[in-house]
């Protein structure tokens, strides 16, 4: 955990670790691969404009509910015969879930984990500015997931197991003007020698985009010397 980032004449000084045992670390260069909110806090003194711009990036909180069903409960259900990998639900549908992933159909290792008797699938809940999903209890989230899954696929059997995982603030939201915002962030960051940023807040939230932004950060540092 990095708590503070400063620059002196020879490089960066990072304050790291728990507050009760904070320590200093020196670095020649720093790539901030953290979400926009901590990046904004860490950049407050080094790059105040970038810090302010990053603090304006909103996020959505997401919940993933995984359900395990008896394989026999899916027999005869055309939606769940393994030929589809899932579905998306537009907000206009008025449902709690926003997507379903038929994990057993999508990934062989998930299918293998079920051993032939059990199949796993997962539902995603939580849209931008709708924090109800992350605040709901596990029981509510499972009930909503089962209800909406039933409407989408006809599967009404009771799951044999369930798991709820919350990702508070997990997905940055790209508002109108995001590209200009990020260009301005990078412009100020580039004026601090040895500093770069990357991650889901910049050029795309998918893992490939995050990796590409990491390559770009390193290339920018190298180009800057």
Ligand X SMILES: Cc1cc2nc3c(=O)[nH]c(=O)nc-3n(C[C@H](O)[C@H](O)[C@H](O)COP(=O)(O)OP(=O)(O)OC[C@H]3O[C@@H](n4cnc5c(N)ncnc54)[C@H](O)[C@@H]3O)c2cc1C
Q: Which is nearer to ligand X, 75 or 207 (CB)?
A: 207
Q: Which stretch binds ligand X (CB under 6 A): 34-42, 135-143, 174-182, 187-195?
A: 34-42
Residues 195-214 interacting with ligand X (rule: CB under 6 A): 199-200, 205-207, 210
* Chosen residue from 87, 106, 140, 167 binding ligand X by CB under 6 A: 167
Q: Which is nearer to ligand X, 87 or 167 (CB)?
A: 167
Q: Binding to ligand X by residue 17, rule CB under 6 A?
A: no
Q: b/e string for 37-75 if b means 16 or more Cβ within 10 A?
A: eebbbbbeebbeebbebbeebebbbbbbbbbbbeeebbe
* Chosen residue from 1, 88, 183, 219 binding ligand X by CB under 6 A: 1
Q: Which is nearer to ligand X, 34 or 190 (CB)?
A: 34
* Chosen residue from 31, 36, 50, 62 binding ligand X by CB under 6 A: 62
Provide, rounded to whole angstroms, the least separation between the CB of residue 186 and ligand X.
15
Q: Binding to ligand X by residue 64, rule CB under 6 A?
A: yes
Q: Which is nearer to ligand X, 99 or 184 (CB)?
A: 99
Q: Binding to ligand X by residue 150, rule CB under 6 A?
A: no
Q: Binding to ligand X by residue 36, rule CB under 6 A?
A: no
Q: Which residue is nearest to ligand X (CB)?
A: 199
* Chosen residue from 67, 170, 181, 185 binding ligand X by CB under 6 A: 170
**HEC per residue, the chain:** CEEEEEEECCEEEEEECCHHHCEEEEECCEEECCCHHHHHHHCCCCCHHHHHHHHCCCEEEEEEEEEEEEHHHHCCCHHHCCCCCEEECCHHHCCCEEEEECHHHHCHHHHHHCCCCEEEEEEEECCCCCCHHHHCCHHHHHHHHHHHHHHHHCCCCCCCEEEEEEEEEEEECCCCCHHHHHHHHHHHHHCCCCEEECCCCCCCCCHHHHHHHHHHHHHHHHHHC
List residues binding ligand X (CB under 6 A).
1-2, 33-35, 38, 62, 64, 167, 170-171, 199-200, 205-207, 210
């Amino acid at each position: 955990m990095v708590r503070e980032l400063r620059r002196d004449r020879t490089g960066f000084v990072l304050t790291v670790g728990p507050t009760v045992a904070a320590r200093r670390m020196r670095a020649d260069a720093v790539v901030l691969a953290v979400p926009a909110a901590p990046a904004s806090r860490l950049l407050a003194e080094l790059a105040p404009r970038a810090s302010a711009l990053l603090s304006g990036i909103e996020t959505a909180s997401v919940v993933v509910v995984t359900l395990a069903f008896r394989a026999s409960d899916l027999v005869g259900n055309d939606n769940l015969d393994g030929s589809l990998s899932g579905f998306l639900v537009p907000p206009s549908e008025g449902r709690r879930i926003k997507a379903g992933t038929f994990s057993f159909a999508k990934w062989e290792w998930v299918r293998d984990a079920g051993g032939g008797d059990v199949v796993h699938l997962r539902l995603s809940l939580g849209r931008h500015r709708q924090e109800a999903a992350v605040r709901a209890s596990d029981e509510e989230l499972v009930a909503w997931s089962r209800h909406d899954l039933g409407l989408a696929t006809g599967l009404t059997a009771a799951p044999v197991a369930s798991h709820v995982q919350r990702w508070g603030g997990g997905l940055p939201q790209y508002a109108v003007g995001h590209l200009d915002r990020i260009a301005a962030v990078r412009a100020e960051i580039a004026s601090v020698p040895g500093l770069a940023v990357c991650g889901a807040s910049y050029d795309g939230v998918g893992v490939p985009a995050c990796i590409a932004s990491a390559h770009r950060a390193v290339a920018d540092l190298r180009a800057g010397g």
